[in-house]
Amino acid sequence: MDWRLKRRPGAGLYNLGSTCYLNVILQCLTYTPPLANYLLSRRHSRFCRQQGFCMMCIMEDHVRKVLYSSASAIRPRAVIRDLKFIGEFKPDIPGDAYEFLRCTLNAMQAACLSGGSDLSSSEETTVIHQIFGGFLRSRVTCLNCKAVSDFYKVFMDVLLKIKGTLSLATALEDFVSPKHLEGRKSFKCSKCRKKVPASKVVTIHHAPRVLTVCLGRADDQSSRKISQVVAYPEFLNLRPYMSDPAAEPLFYSLYAVVVHTGHSCLGGHFFCYTKASNEQWYKMNDVSVEGCDIHTVLEQQAYLLFYTRCFDPQTEEMSASTSSHSLLTQGEPSSQAGPAGPQALPGRIRVPNSQRDIARDRSRSPLWGNERHNWATNITTPSSAGRTWMRTSPPGHDNTPRDVTAPGPSNRSFQAAPAPRAAWEQPQPGEGQQSRASRPGYELCRRFMKLRNGHQSKRKRRKHSFGTYKAKP
């Protein structure tokens, strides 16, 4: 369900005629994490046996081209070339994004059934159904004999009526509210053996991994566009609208939104907002790809909403705050040690003045001068290879790598540095600083460096002279 690789947003799509409805659906499918992971693995094309048109193979090439292309925009020519096999669409005639989404998913489902492996022998076993598919339960209760009948139906998306509603939650409540069946819509009860009035309740029995919601903006009576703004959340709890509303919450996270602009459903323009693998939101308007924030996304006149299943956002926020608190407190001393001093640089331990004095006293001893000379030179003399010079760490030095990329305190626990490490710390302003020449061991190190440089220069002269030597005939 999560992205396998984090990358920048992909390329935009050229509008080749009146193909904005096509572009937004292709972009939303490209940034559907489980579908993109499957298509980028090329698992379908390696076992595909279908001749001619295959929507899964086309989508594999398209997703890889969009995400890996270095161009700012590409042309979806393969999809437009085979529009007649997807549905009744033409590049020069405006289409509906919701209709193209349903036709595209059906074409991909058919490709998995006919051209996939032998395991994909039914609709419920295809990768398309495993990602987008779910089950609706229709529970019909006879008002005469109180008999209950359950019917199940596969769905790839949920179409909601939004006339008179102001939020997605209200539209979902209306979707699962009981409907009264009478007259022409009367229910034929198997127990009463006749058509009787009944009550029908539709609920989501099995939730999909990716929930696609269409906010129906076409008025059935006037055929006009419903332009009212319907509020929708970034995180949606689907549990109250399922067959078992008392179970644990089932959260979904918003990752794509399709917007339609215009006063009529027969015209206008489509663009979309998608969340890329880097967890950033982008507005994709044909060839244009611009960054935006979540507040801009939630203020749109949405037409299609794409949600992916996620963990509890409150739990994730709590764990994130706990981890941040632990990282902040790791660099602080305990309450018994008193208040913390000034903040040290990232990845560097700040040594108190008392520790500096102890380390400075130790550095004045001849023993520490010899130790510093030993770790700086560390001469080993193999029997056959001459002398090998190795530079190692001073005694007691902590070689643990430190994170110096992020500002703020180090994620290492606060502790007093060893005395050898403290001797190399720079003194604070106002403290006495011993001159470099008067430090014990400095003269010995200086002589050693001079001697080593002399040997290296002699070796270079020998090498150059050997290269210019000419052998006698």
- Per the document, the length of the chain is 473
Q: Which pTM was predicted? A: 0.66
In order of 117, 201, 348, 410, 411, the CA distances from 400 in angstroms are 50, 62, 11, 12, 12
Q: At what angle do helices 20-30 and 55-68 cross, to 10 degrees?
A: 80
Q: How far is CA 236 from CA 68, 99, 135, 273, 314, in A?
A: 31, 24, 18, 18, 12
Burial 216-252 (b: 16+ CB within 10 A, else e): ebeeeeeeebbeeebebbeebebbebbbeeeeeebbb
Residues 6+ apart with CB under 8 A from 391: 376, 378
pLDDT for position 424: 34
Q: Phi-psi category of 134—alpha, beta or left, where left has phi over 0 and alpha has psi -120 to 50? A: beta
pLDDT of residue 449: 74
Three-state DSSP at 96 gives coil
Which residue positions in the chain have pLDDT lower than 50?
Answer: 117-120, 317-438, 466-473
Q: Where are the alpha helices (DSSP H) in 14-96?
A: 20-30, 33-40, 43-47, 55-68, 77-81, 83-86
Cα(315)–Cα(311) distance, rounded to whole angstroms? 8
Would you state the structure tokens that stand for residue 172, as one six-digit string?
A: 């979902």
Rounded CA-CA distance 203/153 in Å is: 11
The catalytic position among 20, 28, 189, 214 is: 20
Return the pLDDT at 460.
Answer: 59
Check residue 151 and report its DSSP letter: E
Residue whose entry in the numeric block shows the structure tokens 């295809």: 126
The pLDDT score that the predictor gives to residue 380 is: 38
pLDDT at 50: 82
Torsion of CA 458, 462, 463, 468, to 10 degrees: 140
What tokens were used for 356?
A: 């500096």
- Tell me the per-residue pLDDT of 410-428, one tens digit each, with 9 for 90 and over: 333 333 333 333 333 344 4
Q: How far is CA 170 from CA 162, 240, 260, 337, in A?
A: 9, 12, 21, 56
CA distance 60 to 115: 14
The bridge status of strand 251-261 relative to strand 235-237 is: antiparallel
- Please report the pLDDT score of residue 64 as a whole number: 93
Pick the CATH number of 12-315 from 3.90.70.10, 3.40.50.720, 3.30.200.20, 1.10.3720.10: 3.90.70.10
User: Which pLDDT value is given to residue 365?
Assistant: 38
The reply to whether 310 belongs to the active site is: no
pLDDT at 364: 39
Catalytic site residue from 192, 206, 265, 269: 269
Domain regions of the chain by residue span? 12-315, 347-398+407-459
**269 belongs to the catalytic site:** yes
